Chains A and B, each alone.
Chain A
Amino acid sequence: TQLLEQSPQFLSIQEGENLTVYCNSSSVFSSLQWYRQEPGEGPVLLVTVVTGGEVKKLKRLTFQFGDARKDSSLHITAAQPGDTGLYLCAGRTGAGGTSYGKLTFGQGTILTVHP
C-alpha cells in the first residue's frame, strides 16, 4: 500500500508570513498533484509535477518534486487570508497492474491565515 504523509497537519499563521507544507512517501510515484479544498466543496487541482527535481511556480506558490519522486513540497510566500483551506498532495500510481493511474492522497494540511 502506498502511503503519503503530509506535515504539518495544522498551520495557523498571520498574513504576510511564509510557509512550507511537506509530502513524503517511501514509494515512488509517476507524478504528484497538489489540490486545495474549501469546506463543502471538492478538491481543486493546483499543479501536477512529473519529473524528479521539477519546480513549478503558480504566483506565490512554489511546488517541488523530489529527485527520487518520493516527496514534494509546497511553499507559499506572503500568505493571504484567501489562501486558507485544506491542502492535499496526491501521488499517482505508476505503470503495472490495475492500480495504474490511481491517486493516493495524503491526510491534508489545514491552513488558516489570519488577517
Chain B
Amino acid sequence: KQEVTQIPAALSVPEGENLVLNCSFTDSAIYNLQWFRQDPGKGLTSLLLIQSSQREQTSGRLNASLDKSSGRSTLYIAASQPGDSATYLCAPHSRQLTFGSGTQLTVLP
C-alpha cells in the first residue's frame, strides 16, 4: 500500500523567498506524480504532472523534481507571493493516486 509523507506540514515565509516542499512515497513503482494546490474550501488544482521517465517539470515559477528510485519529489517555488498561500499536495500514481496530507503554505506580504 502506497504511503505518502509531506514535510513540512506547515510553512510560513516572507514574500519573495524561494522555497522547497518535500514529498516522499513508499512504493516507487509509479506511473507519474502530480502536485496539486488547494485553497480553503475549494477543490484541488493540478499544478504539475511528472511522468515516471522524467526527472523534472517546470511551469512558470514552479519546478517539480522526481527521484523515483528513492521515492522522493520536491516542489520548488521561486520568488513566492502572497497569492501562493494555499495547501500543496503531492500524489504519486501507482494503482491509484495516493495523496499526502499536504503542506500548508503561508506567504506573508
A binds B: no
